[in-house]
Structure 1
């Protein structure tokens, strides 16, 4: 029986994800349909809907999976306070984006809203909030404005990089991202070196 989270269920979902990624390489997102995903993955429509509510749900879940893959790629001895500002961790992030650029090109085009603290919880709690507090900002509402500013800029830099086929080197984009860090978070010059 193919019940949720058994081996067969997971293998089917992986096939559908792979089909979606393959379609993303050469098809505009607006032209990707459930029918095409099912044909490529060799599954029925009912199988697709047993796993996902629609294509956007599929994208969201694929993004969650890739986010988890990214987190697992960070060295276990990494200090969470280094995120996202240390060169090695930014480079790992950008290598991950380059590896999955077909997915991120579409995910960033179809994003309906910035994820704000969702998925950014460690960055918010361990880095951004303490840096705002160190700068004398105590209102979480005001902190959130800085966070939104940083996240929007960060996302748009990555989107531009992906939209241009990741032509620039990871180190060049990493430097651009570091240059965009709000001055209020740069508590000391040595933090970013």
Structure 2
């Protein structure tokens, strides 16, 4: 009997998995329709058809559900982004912006109401690593110790551009936005080069 009770309460039984999926799907829909601030445990439970006790068996709060969705979305974006070999930065960035635009019902309210760094960081790091030559040209002011600061600057700037684009309801085409990111990065180096001559 003890083994039966243990088996029923594991994270691997079908009912637990189905409840988990309902919580994630409902939360994603609520974020898209109500926004992050208005997504509550009560509303998730109501729309998922579960009680609060069931919710709390899975997550301690809404924030934890959002972190799980962030992780799933980030992994999905990485898989889609690197499914095919990409040789140039513009194509990679265009594809990334297209992925966000395709799912803007979730990303727009999410990015505009939260700090999106958590799920974006793995994606941006992949771009950073795979296209490092394009992002970090050798300049006379550049030293290896500056690398972490430039990487942080790029991640923050990229996140700000993406969030602003989502706030504008993806007004510009994805390839234009890719040009903006590349241009901003190039201009940063240009201005730093000028400043280093003073």
TM class by smaller structure: 0.7 to 0.9
Match of 1:78 in 2: 85
Tell me, in whole angstroms, the C-alpha distance in 2 between the residues paired with 1:108 and 1:176.
Answer: 19
The one of 25, 34, 45 equivalent to 1:38 is: 45
Structure with the bigger RCO (C-alpha within 8 Å, sep 6+) is 2
TM-score, length-normalised on structure 2?
0.75
Match of 1:160 in 2: 164
Richer in helix (by share):
2
- The answer to whether the Cα contact below 8 Å between 1:132 and 1:138 also exists between their aligned partners in 2 is no
**1:2 CA drift (Å):** 4.9
Q: String of CA shifts for 1:11-36, please: whole Å, max 9, x gaps.
A: 32221122112222321322221000
Alignment of 1:16-35 (within 5 A): 16-35=23-42
Q: String of CA shifts for 1:110-163, please: whole Å, max 9, x gaps.
A: 434744995144344444489648444211xx2122112211111111111111
Give the unaligned 5+ runs of structure 2. Answer: 1-7, 191-198
SS of 1:49 mapped into structure 2 = helix
Match of 1:170 in 2: 174
- The answer to whether the Cα contact below 8 Å between 1:34 and 1:55 also exists between their aligned partners in 2 is yes
Give the unaligned 5+ runs of structure 1. Answer: 187-193
Tell me, in whole angstroms, the C-alpha distance in 2 between the residues paired with 1:129 and 1:60.
Answer: 32
Determine which structure has more spread, i.e. the larger CA radius of gyration: 2
TM-score, length-normalised on structure 1?
0.76
SS of 2:53 mapped into structure 1 = helix
Larger mean CA deviation between 155-164 and 110-119 belongs to 110-119
